[in-house]
A and B are shown apart, each in its own frame.
Chain A
Amino acid sequence: MTAIVECRGVTKHYRLGTIDVAALRGVDLTIDKGDFASLAGPSGSGKTTLLNAIGGLDRPTKGSIKIEGHEITALNANALADLRLRKIGFVFQAYNLIPVLSAVENVEFILQLMGVEAAARRARAKEVLRDVGLEGLENRRPARLSGGQQQRVAVARALASKPAIVLADEPTANLDTKTAEDLIALMSGLNDRLGTTFLMATHDARVISRTRRHIVISDGGITSDERRKLAEAEPA
Chain B
Amino acid sequence: MLFDLAWRNIWRQPHRTALSLTSIVLASAITVFVLSLQLGTYGTMKESVLKLMDGFAQAQPKGYSDDPDIRKAISDPQALMTRLEGMPAVTATAPRATTYVVLSNGPRSYGAAVFGVDPSKEAEVSTLHKTIVEGRYLREGDTDAAILGAALARNLKLSLGDKLIMLGAAEDGSVAADALTVVGLFATGAPEADRQVVEIPLTRFQTDFAIGKRANVIAIAGRHLSDIQSALPELRAAAHEKGLVVRNWAQLEPALNDVILLDASFSLLMYVSLVVIVVFIILNTLLMSVLERTREFGMLMAIGMRPAQIGRMIWIELLLLACIGVALGIALGSAITAWVARDGISFPSAEALFSRWHMPATIYPQLDAVSALAGPLAIGTAIIVAGIVPYLRVRSLCPVSAMRAS
User: Which A positions have Cβ atoms within 8 angstroms of B?
Assistant: 52, 55, 57-58, 77-78, 81-82, 84-86, 90, 92, 95-96, 98-101, 109-110, 112-114, 157, 161
Contact A100 B9, beta carbon cutoff 8 Å: yes
Q: Would A95 and B299 count as touching, CB distance under 8 A?
A: yes
For chain B, give the interface size range.
20 to 34
Of B11, B12, B304, most A-chain CB atoms within 10 Å: B304
- In the complex, besides A77-B306, A85-B303, A95-B299, 8 extra interface pairs with C-beta distance below 8 angstroms are A81-B304, A84-B303, A84-B304, A92-B302, A99-B296, A100-B8, A109-B1, A113-B309
Asked if A101 contacts B8 (CB within 8 A), the reply is yes
Cβ-defined partner of B304 (8 Å) among A86, A98, A101: A86
Q: What is the distance, in angstroms, from B383's C-beta to the closest C-beta of chain A?
A: 22
| Residue among A58, A96, A98 with max Cβ neighbours from chain B (10 Å) | A98
Task: Flag B280-305 by CB within 8 Å of A: 1 or 0 each.
Answer: 00000000000000011001111111
B303 partner, pick from A52, A58, A90, beta carbons under 8 A: A90
Rounded to whole angstroms, the CA-CA distance of A55 and B9 in the bound complex is: 27
Least CB distance, B49 to chain A, in whole angstroms: 59
Q: Which of B305, B306, B400 contacts A52 (CB 8 A)?
A: B400
Task: Let me know if B307 is at the binding interface, CB within 8 A.
Answer: yes
Chain B residues with CB under 8 Å of chain A are 1, 5, 8-9, 11-12, 295-296, 299-309, 398-400, 403
Contact for B296 among A84, A90, A98, A114, CB less than 8 A:
A98
Instruction: Please indicate the chain B residues that have their CB under 8 angstroms from the CB of A86 in the complex.
Output: 304
Could you tell me if A81 and B306 are in contact, using CB atoms closer than 8 angstroms?
yes
For A99, the closest partner residue in chain B by CB is B12
Asked if B12 and A113 sit within 8 Å, CB to CB, the answer is no
Cα separation A86 to B5 with both chains bound (whole Å) = 21
**A112 contacts which chain B residues (CB < 8 A)?**
1
Residues of B within 8 A of A110 (CB): 303-304
CB neighbours (8 Å) of B296 from chain A are: 95, 98-99
Asked whether A58 lies within 8 Å of B306 as measured between CB atoms, the reply is no
The chain B residue sitting closest to A87, CB to CB, is B304
With A84-B303, A95-B295 as contacts: A57 and B5 at CB distance below 8 Å:
no
Docked complex Cα distance between A82 and B306 (Å):
8
Which residues of chain B are within 8 angstroms of A58 by Cβ–Cβ distance?
398-400
Given known pairs A57-B399, A58-B400, A112-B1, the reply for A82 and B304 (CB within 8 Å) is yes
Determine which of A90, A98, A114 lies in contact with B302 in the assembled complex, contact meaning CB atoms within 8 Å: A90
Across the interface, which residues of B come within 8 angstroms of A85, CB to CB?
Answer: 303-305
User: Can you list 23 A-B pairs with a CB-CB distance of less than 8 A?
Assistant: A57-B400, A57-B403, A58-B399, A78-B306, A81-B304, A81-B307, A84-B303, A84-B304, A85-B303, A86-B304, A90-B303, A95-B403, A98-B5, A98-B299, A100-B12, A101-B8, A109-B303, A110-B303, A110-B304, A113-B1, A113-B303, A113-B309, A157-B303
In the assembled complex, which residues on chain B have CB atoms less than 8 Å from the CB atom of A114?
Answer: 304
Residue of B nearest to A81 (CB): B306
Q: How far is the CB of A1 from chain B (nearest CB, A)?
A: 27
**Chain A nearest CB: distance from B98 CB in Å?**
75
- Complex CA gap A78/B304 in Å reads 9
Contacts of B8 in A (CB 8 A): 100-101
Neighbouring B residues of A96 by C-beta, 8 Å: 299
Top-5 shortest CB links A-B = A85-B304, A100-B8, A84-B304, A57-B399, A81-B306
Partner of B5, one of A78, A95, A101: A101
Q: Given A77-B307, A101-B5, are A55 and B302 neighbors across the interface (CB < 8 Å)? A: yes
